[in-house]
Amino acid sequence: MTALLSIIVLVFIAIAIWQLIKIFDLAQAANSSSDENSEVANDKDNKTQGRLMLAFLAFIYIITIVCFIKLGDLPLMSNSASEHGPTIDNLMIISMVIIFIVQTITQFLLHYFAYKYKGEKGKKALYYADNDKLEFIWTIIPVIVLAGLIISGLFAWTDIMDVSDEEDPLVVELYAQQFNWKARYGGEDNTLGMANVRLIDIDRANILGVDESDPNAQDDVITTELHLPVGRPVLFKMRSQDVLHSAYMPHFRAQMNCVPGMITQFGFTPTVTTAEMRQNPDIIDKVANINKIRVRNSEKLVAKGEDALERYEFDYLLLCNKICGKSHYNMQMKIIVETQEEYDAWMKEQKVFAKSLVAN
Amino acid sequence: MSAHADTHDHDEHHHHKETFVTKYIFSQDHKMIAKQYLITGTIMGVIGIVMSLMFRMQIAWPEEPNVIFEALLGKWAPDGVMDADIYLALVTIHGTIMVFFVLTAGLSGTFSNLLIPLQIGARDMASGFLNMVSYWLFFLSSVVMVISLFVSAGPAAAGWTIYPPLSALPLAQGGSGAGMTLWLVSMAIFIASSLLGSLNYIVTVLNLRTKGMSMTRLPLTIWAFFITAVIGVISFPVLLSAALLLIMDRSFGTSFFLSDIFIQGEVLHYQGGSPVLFEHLFWFLGHPEVYIVLLPALGITSEIIATNSRKPIFGYRAMVASILAIAFLSTIVWGHHMFISGMNPFLGSVFTFTTLLIAIPSAVKAFNYITTLWKGNLQLNPAMLFSIGLVSTFITGGLTGIILGDSALDINVHDTYFVVAHFHLVMGISALYGMFAGIYHWFPKMFGRMLNKNLGYIHFWVTAVCAYGVFFPMHFIGMAGLPRRYYTNSNFPLFDDTADTNVIITVFALVGGVFQLVFLWNFFYSMFYGKKTVQNPWRSNTLEWTAPIKHIHGNWEGEIPHVHRWPYDYSKPGHDDDFVPQHIPMKEGEEELHH
């Protein structure tokens, strides 16, 4: 299929070049009989190009509208699943509205002027070099708008990044390595044991380099799925064992890099359980749409003798969002937000660190 | 050459005979060096764009066999299926080539060299020899970069930002072996080239202006090139230091950027370094680099819009002030690339503040361009179309900067396709348009012949439609949370609904890419067979159009013209013509309006 497509593209290239050479030759022949400035735009060119400018303005508007209708259903701009999410979403919407207004007006002026004032022989432009008042106006308007954005942005940022004011947060370590994620919970005492990659002992299955002698470490729990109780603040401590990774949790409007040699942190409070989110009408629509696409793709795969795709069910995800090597594109971990009871039940099933070690 | 030499007949300095080698290869003439930069930049541009088309095809049709991959990638595409490592390498080298080799060296190198001496009225650059060395270092760095593509373990693949530890450890990635070594060597040479060039531009602008050419009579092109060179001199050395420290870490066991690493079953000895330090050093260049790319394009646009509107550029002083403001601010905003790098969140607040301030001078520039068009007599030449196109993409791309520069919002769209769309429009496409505009406008000055205008029109319109077709929808898949630099998204059913959009984007990219052949054809054909130009084809005011069409060493026969006015006296009342070149003396009672 792609091979065929590529060949078609190559053929088109060849045809296009051949056609263009012809146009070019014709143009050259026509030029030789006209005046010496024939490669400079004349009134006819200005007229055509001016109209095209107007058409291009229409194109920009149309592509904007089409994109908003077809792609504007943005799970990232509504349906956040964390307490600070709506703050970011509102700020995003305000910024988008400002952008939309400015974009619509300035593109109109630019392209409309290009059409309206297209050149004509004998016409003289207005000699208009300066106007301090105008300059002042369009300096001061952005200043006011930006001041508003900066202030609200800074309040939101400070609020989100300040993790010290959370009372009794659940402490979870996110541990990144090429190319998977682990989560470590503090256990009963909600305190993580000391850890360093120098303490990694593969033979004893101490894969996170947790300090075996640290009393706080004994009841730590290491998992490959991230479970969070709804409504309780979570404080993530992030580590990486090899290269930079980034813990990106788009549904929670959360992201922080994992940096080898240091511990980074990010905190949020999940507000919607996975089960609730699956019942959200927007998400039901999105999932249905995705499954329609998957059924379509499955048909093609089955026809080729391959397995069909699994049905998609909504889950929160943690993705790696900092280039980290060959399998960067498949470094993910499922996040499950659940009620406190469900969380406690799940936690009870997990093995604590002291018991997960293999004796030498 | 010293300034007072201008008044003497210059030819006596150049009686030595020019051979083929001194004229075309090791030339010290700025006009020839400009052409050399342009051609080298064009070749690198073709490589960079072909790479982008290849990885776009992979994104649209993941893991499907493709004859183009098989032909071009060889062992990296077994059975025509692109390998995940080479995907990252293509992304990395595409970024490196386009940012540095095409839009820095290709753009600044070409037009600063061509225009600085010609527009300020100088015989040549302050040091022709350094200028020649600068070009040949650039050439050498290009060769090394291209050679790095053929290393057996693969070219550098850590992203164009080459963050360690990924870029430092061959254990982490095949491309971080010899490929990365060559990348670093190439960049070190490149930086040396860039610094020599920038120093030359600065000295030339400050010392070699012709009589009457005060700083406030400089064309905005020169202001842009001059300030660009200043930014380059301030920021490129920092990247050089980062590259050298990284080389130390890689090859000599130091720990500047590395600490506590366990990889492939072993603990490495590194201790106490920080990758975040590298990020600071990198972006201290990396962000000003955006303006090193963009300012020359804006300068070129200012000149072309004024000339083709047959109107003075609106707000000359505000334009200069905004260039200065952008240059200053550009050096204190680098942290907005690092909001979520793990640096102190307080720094995030500071950088949000400084970053959003840049919107102010940018807005002033955009409004001034639009006002320049107002009530003009617009000559819609291809160069003018590309300049208007630049203003359009500069606005579209620039506006989303208020989202990315806002640390709170950046949390969520950082490193998604939203960022890719933003910077490609605001600096990639805009700067590329600036470069095209410059080529269409000054081709007659460079080669004595005209580019075919109809091919120029076709080139512009297809490129313009495709640029929006590629990058506009990309904002939306970014807001849907799709991370950049993923080899395939098929492991995330969550993103299945972005697949169709990705196909559309790739089709636009392919069409746009293929139509650049129209430009290449026009460029190389017209160089030899294009219509011969007249002395001043665009009826422009600047000094370069007073120099003879056929290039001579020293630029002007006899005395260098003196300057009596600013360069934007278009359609000035009291003059018959709609342009009054800078060397025309003031009439009696005529006032210089902009002071």
| 3-state SS string for B426-464 | HHHHHHHHHHHHHHHHHHHHHHCECCCHHHHHHHHHHHH
pLDDT for A122: 87
Give me B241's structure tokens.
């230091």
Q: Which of B515, B514, B444, B427 is nearest to B104 (CA)?
A: B427
Cross-chain residue pair A110–B373, CB shorter than 8 Å: yes
Asked if B447 and B527 count as a contact pair (C-beta separation under 8 A), the reply is yes
| B267: three-class secondary structure by DSSP | strand
- 8-state DSSP, B561: P
Q: Which two tokens stand for residue B170?
A: 């061959």
b vs e for A146-160, b when ≥16 Cβ sit within 10 Å of the residue's Cβ? beebbebbbebbeeb
pLDDT in tens, B61-117: 998 999 999 999 999 999 999 999 999 999 999 999 999 999 999 999 999 999 999
Q: Do B172 and A125 touch (CB under 8 A)?
A: no
3-state helix vs strand vs coil in chain A, percent to 5: 50, 20, 30
Beta bridge partners, A248, equal: A255, A319
CA distance B54 to chain A (A): 11
- State pLDDT tens for residues A198-234: 999 999 999 999 999 999 999 999 999 999 999 999 9
Average pLDDT of the segment spanning B141-157: 96
**Minimum distance, in Å, between the CA of residue B9 and any CA atom of chain A:** 33
When scoring B82, B166, B498 by the number of chain A Cβ atoms within 10 A, the one with the most, hence best to mutate, is: B166
CB B370 within 8 A of CB A106: yes
Could B406 and A149 be called an inter-chain contact, meaning their C-beta atoms sit closer than 8 Å? yes
d(CA B567, CA B303) in angstroms, rounded, equals: 9
The answer to whether B375 touches A122, Cβ cutoff 8 Å, is: no
Residue B3 has a pLDDT of 43
How far is the CA of A181 from the CAs of A177, B38, B62, B415, in angstroms? 7, 47, 24, 19
B305 has pLDDT over 70: yes
Q: pTM surpassing 0.90?
A: yes
Q: Where are the alpha helices (DSSP H) in chain A?
A: 2-33, 43-71, 85-116, 132-161, 274-279, 281-303, 340-349, 353-356
In the predicted model, what is the mean pLDDT of chain B?
Answer: 93
Q: With CB atoms and an 8 Å threshold, state whether B571 touches A120.
A: no
Flag whether pLDDT at A76 surpasses 80.
no
- Cα B184 to Cα A340: distance, rounded to the nearest angstrom: 52
- Tens of pLDDT, residue by residue over B411-450, are 999 999 999 999 999 999 999 999 999 999 999 999 999 9
Instruction: For each of the domains in chain A, give its residue range(s) and CATH number, in order of start.
Output: 40-161 (no CATH), 170-276+311-356 (2.60.40.420)
First to last CA, chain A: 55
Residue A19 has pLDDT above 80, yes or no: no
Domain boundaries, chain B: 29-257+275-546
* Per-residue buried b or exposed e for B11-45, using 16+ beta carbons within 10 Å of the residue's own CB: eeeeeeeeeeeeeeeebbbbbbbbbbbbebbbebb
Task: Give the three-state DSSP class for A73.
Answer: coil
B173 contacts in A (CB within 8 Å)? 325-326
User: How deeply is B214 buried, as exposed, middle or buried, from its count of CB atoms within 10 A (0-12, 13-18, 19+)?
Assistant: exposed
In sequence order, what are the beta bridge partners of A235? A171, A267
Contact B402 A149 (CB under 8 A): yes
B318, B409, B453 ranked by CB distance to A39: nearest: B453
pLDDT at position A1 is 56
State the pLDDT at residue B7: 43
Structural class in CATH, domain B29-257+275-546: mainly alpha
pLDDT at residue B23 in the model: 80
- In whole angstroms, what is the distance from residue A346 CA to residue A199 CA? 28
Asked if B549 is an interface residue toward chain A (Cβ–Cβ < 8 A), one would say no
Cα(B73)–Cα(B270) distance, integer angstroms: 35
Which of A13, A161, A261 faces B517 most closely, judged by CB atoms?
A13
A164: confidence class by pLDDT, cuts 50, 70, 90: confident
Largest Cα–Cα distance in chain B? 84
Q: Which two tokens stand for residue B442?
A: 């000054």
Q: What are phi and psi of A199, to 5 degrees?
A: -95, 5
Polymer length in residues for chain B: 595
Classify burial at B470, counting beta carbons within 10 Å of its beta carbon; exposed 0-12, middle 13-18, buried 19 or more. Answer: buried
Please report the pLDDT score of residue A31 as a whole number.
Answer: 53
CA distances (Å), origin B551, targets B302, B546, B557, B583: 25, 12, 10, 20
DSSP for B7-31, written as a single string: GS-GGGGG-SPP-HIIIIIS---HH
Over 60: is that where the pLDDT of A67 sits? yes
Say whether pLDDT at A183 is over 80. Answer: yes
Strands across the sheet containing A170-177: A221-223, A180-185, A170-177, A234-240, A264-268
- The answer to whether B258 touches A260, Cβ cutoff 8 Å, is yes
pLDDT digits (tens, 9 = 90+) for B51-63: 999 999 999 999 8
Written as six digits, the tokens of B488 are 């395939």
ipTM above 0.95, yes or no: no
Percent of chain A's residues with pLDDT above 90? 74
Residue B101: what pLDDT?
97
Residue B57: Cβ within 10 Å count: 24
Chain B from 485 to 504: CB within 8 A of any A CB? 485-489, 491-494, 496-497, 499-501
b/e string for B69-87 if b means 16 or more Cβ within 10 A?
bbeebeebbeebbbbbbbb
Sequence length of chain A is 360
Mean pLDDT of chain A: 90
Q: Which residues contact A338 (CB under 8 A, 6 or more apart)?
A: A227, A228, A229, A230, A273, A274, A275, A346
Residue A151's alpha-carbon distances to A83, A143, B334, B340, B555, in angstroms, are 20, 12, 20, 19, 54
Among candidates A3, A53, A106 on the partner chain, residue whose Cβ is nearest the Cβ of B67: A3
Question: What is the phi/psi pair of residue B263, to 5°?
Answer: -145, 140
Biggest distance spanned by C-alpha atoms of chain A: 95
Q: What are A67's strand-pairing partners?
A: none
pLDDT at residue A175 greater than cutoff 90: yes
